[in-house]
Amino acid sequence: QHEHNWWKEGVVYQIYPKSFKDSNGDGVGDIPGIISKLDYLKDLGIDIVWVSPHYKSPMIDNGYDISDYEAIYEPFGTLADAEALIKAVHDRGMRLIFDLVINHTSSEHAWFKESRSSKTNPKRDWYIWRPARYDSKGKRCRPNNWRSNFSESAWTWDEQTQEYYLHLYASEQPDLNWENPETRRAIYASAMKFWLDKGIDGFRIDTVNMYSKTPGLPDAPIMYPDHEIQPAFMYYANGPRMHEFLDEMNDVFEPYDTFTVGETPYTPDEGTVLGYIVPSPKRPRLSVVFNFNVVDLGQTPGNRFDERAFTKAHFKRELLRWHRVTQDTGAWNAVFLENHDQPRSVSKFASDAPEYRDLSAKMFAIVLATLSGTLFVYQGQEIGMINAPKDWARENYKCIKSVNHLAEIVARTNDDPAEMEKALGSLHRQARDHGRVPMQWTSDGKNGGFCDEGAEPWIPMLESHRDINVAGQVGRQDSVLEFWRRMLLLRKQFKDVFVYGCVQGFDSPFEDEAKAPLQFVKHGKNGMCSLTVANLTDTPVDWQWPGWVKDDGMVLLAGNYEKGLAKQLQPFEARVYVRA
């Protein structure tokens, strides 16, 4: 059993600052806007606020391209605003974590400007520079065939110094060279200590498993024969020196009681992830990681818009498998279904049809609030926000990943209309912008309380704000928001079973896996036991107590239907039973 700890039982709320709340009418969210909503978060039952990057940035990747770790993106506010935010969060008894993006900087960062200025500059080796290769005809070629995460090659040619530099994301996001100890020391001082000394409580660590690349940077295997460049995550994720680098980072965190949640894309092998989080006799490592086994369903690793079929059975299996893996190894779990890189959970894993969207959102509230680990809620998830509609215009997509994907389709298929339609279909299901549209505060006007009516939001407010918004849900007992608030209260009230409990009995008595509800039984060390059951489909399904659970003494703690039929689960019905 785990020791109780603030970051284990704290509920985290992720804010994407550009889209949360605009306080000054420029159509861009900002830090004063965040401060104005802290009471809302406190009332919801949030304990830890995570703010996505607020640092100085050219915003090629919405702030994940940082040009100065110690300054603020001007439209978001000033350093004084950031300090006021830290204080305002703490004054309300909550904790604050920031994003730590240190695999790369912006190409506008002073370090990179120096690095690219000449081959002999002392910071040349702070980034990853390589000479060109030449083919048999003497044509200049890139150092290898790696594809970046944003559709283009991972290499950009620098005219001035006649070399290529590596970027796993946009060409405006050059990768830092972690092999150089001087670079690492600069990162620790500027990106980490600067903010820890200001009193923040931890970091969400971006792409925490990509700092160490496979030596020699070998060509990736050919996955797409008709493409020049290939997904290469097997050579840049989880490289040989990762543990060494993380140990070093931990020495920096050690004096601060820091909560760290690392993002670990491209880690299909669970042993590797566990190495980052299972406490060793030597020292604790990251507090938790975001493993992508659930949210990546439906995507091809390294190429999200190359879709793969998945079923509700996969969803159930992956969700519970990961729970069990962390539980069996003494690692701590991170429970999440959404973030700023994902489509909305209601749309992807349940149904956003008008008659089912609220039920779906409440169903996930029950499931997530009764799973063990640190729970993360993404802005808008608490009111059941849904994806942009199918006919959302092509120009509305702002995310570089989507924009580059469409450009690549145009270039490779000669703007074939059928290919374009297919691409827009995959954007409708997979694009990151679904989570990045403005937060829906009210049903008013065209801007839904995100910004002044006179302003133009940087990305359109969805029309669905007319039906799905905070103002219309606060205090309305049957709303998604009030449901989440109750579930978070119950999670805390019965934390021994919901936060710290062990799952038992994963096997399902159903013959048809696709129709079988998701169900799991948990035990708390105080002897309490719970059963969560959820019908993930839009079809009623007959249900009986699983043979391995005795129903005597079990009482219904929460459900998303007013009056459930004991022996049948309605579309997207979820319940949680407990026995003291």
In the set 149, 264, 379, 387, which binds ligand TEU (CB under 6 A)? 149
Contact call for residue 233 and ligand TEU (CB under 6 A): no
Q: CB-side exposure of 38: number of CA atoms within 13 Å?
A: 23
What is the distance between the alpha carbons of residues 548 and 73, in angstroms, rounded to a whole number? 55
DSSP characters over 344-361: -HHHHHS--STTTHHHHH
CA distances from 27 to 187, 453, 460, 476 (A): 32, 9, 10, 29
Residue 517 engages ligand TEU in binding (rule: CB under 6 A): no
> Which residue of the set 99, 206, 352, 358 is catalytic?
206
Cβ contact 289:278 at 8 Å: no
Q: Does 17 bind ligand TEU (CB under 6 A)?
A: no
Burial class (CB in 10 A: 0-12, 13-18, 19+), 534: buried
Nearer to ligand TEU, 81 or 263 (CB): 263
Q: Which of 97, 101, 286, 388 binds ligand TEU (CB under 6 A)?
A: 101
Binding piece for ligand TEU, criterion CB under 6 A, among 159-167, 291-299, 461-469, 497-505:
291-299
CB of 299 to ligand TEU, least distance (A): 7
| Of 81 and 296, CB closest to ligand TEU | 296
When binding is defined by CB under 6 A, the residue of 265, 380, 435, 517 that contacts ligand TEU is 265
Half-sphere exposure of 221 (CA within 13 A, CB side): 4
Please report whether residue 175 would count as binding ligand TEU according to CB under 6 A: no
In this complex, which beta carbon is closest to ligand TEU, that of residue 294 or of residue 531? 294
Sequence-distant (6+) residues with CB within 8 A of 85 are: 31, 34, 35, 51, 96
Least distance between ligand TEU and beta carbon 71 (Å): 18
Q: Nearest approach, Cβ of 32 to ligand TEU (angstroms)? A: 24
294 counts as binding ligand TEU under rule CB under 6 A = no
Q: Could you give the CA distance from residue 204 to residue 444 in angstroms, rounded to a whole number?
A: 34
- 230, 147 in Cβ contact below 8 A? yes
d(CA 457, CA 452): 9
- Decide whether 265 or 448 has the Cβ nearer to ligand TEU: 265
Question: Could you tell me the strand order of the sheet in which 288-291 lies?
Answer: 288-291, 259-264, 202-205, 95-100, 48-51, 11-15, 374-378, 334-335
Q: Kindly compute the dihedral angle of the four CA atoms of residues 365, 369, 374, 379, in this order, to the nearest 10 degrees.
A: 20
Catalytic site residue 263? yes
- Rounded to the nearest angstrom, the gap between the alpha carbon of residue 119 and the centroid of all alpha carbons in its chain is 37
What angle do the packed helices 270-277 and 312-329 form, to 10 degrees? Answer: 40
Q: Dihedral sign, CA of 224, 340, 467, 47?
A: positive
Choose, by CB under 6 A, the member of 47, 206, 358, 573 that binds ligand TEU: 206
Nearest approach, Cβ of residue 376 and ligand TEU (Å): 13
Q: Which residue is nearest to ligand TEU (CB)?
A: 64
By the rule CB under 6 A, 359 interacts with ligand TEU:
no
Active site residue 206: yes
Select from 188-196, 289-297, 320-328, 433-441 the region that touches ligand TEU (CB under 6 A). Answer: 289-297
Is 209 one of the binding residues for ligand TEU (CB under 6 A)?
Answer: no
Which CB, 341 or 358, lies closer to ligand TEU? 341
Q: What is the dihedral of CA 286, 287, 293, 299, to 10 degrees?
A: -60
Question: How many whole angstroms from its chain centre is CA 429?
Answer: 16
* Residue 292 binds to ligand TEU (criterion: CB under 6 A): yes
CA distance 537 to 514: 9
Binding segment toward ligand TEU, per CB under 6 A, in 130-138, 278-286, 292-300, 528-536: 292-300
> Toward ligand TEU, which CB reaches closer, 77 or 302?
302
Q: Round to whole Å and give the CA distance between 31 and 47.
A: 18
| 430 belongs to the binding site for ligand TEU (CB under 6 A) | no
Q: Are strands 95-100 and 202-205 parallel, antiparallel or unpaired?
A: parallel
CA angle (394, 395, 398) in 5-degree steps:
105
Q: Which of 13, 55, 64, 484 lies at the binding interface for ligand TEU (CB under 6 A)?
A: 64
Total chain residues near ligand TEU (CB under 6 A): 14
Rounded to the nearest angstrom, the gap between the alpha carbon of residue 268 and the centroid of all alpha carbons in its chain is: 17
| Least spacing, CB of residue 165 vs ligand TEU, in Å | 16
Binds ligand TEU by CB under 6 A, chosen from 30, 318, 341, 573: 341
Place of tokens 């008894």: 93
Question: Which range in 21-29, 245-253, 288-296, 449-457 contacts ligand TEU by CB under 6 A?
Answer: 288-296
Q: Nearest 5 degrees, angle CA 242-CA 289-CA 503? A: 135
* 347 belongs to the binding site for ligand TEU (CB under 6 A): no
Q: How far is CA 324 from the centre of its chain?
A: 21
Nearer to ligand TEU, 308 or 476 (CB): 308
* Catalytic residue of the set 65, 172, 263, 338: 263
The nearest distance, CB 168 to ligand TEU, in angstroms, is 8
Question: 183 vs 370, which CB is nearer to ligand TEU?
Answer: 183
* Least gap, CB of 304 to ligand TEU (angstroms): 7
Provide the minimum distance between the beta carbon of 61 and ligand TEU in the complex, in angstroms, as a whole number: 5
Nearer to ligand TEU, 435 or 457 (CB): 435
Between CA 97 and CA 376 the distance in angstroms is 12
Write out the catalytic residue numbers: 206, 263
Q: Which residues bind ligand TEU (CB under 6 A)?
A: 61, 64, 101, 149, 169, 206-207, 263, 265, 292, 295-296, 340-341
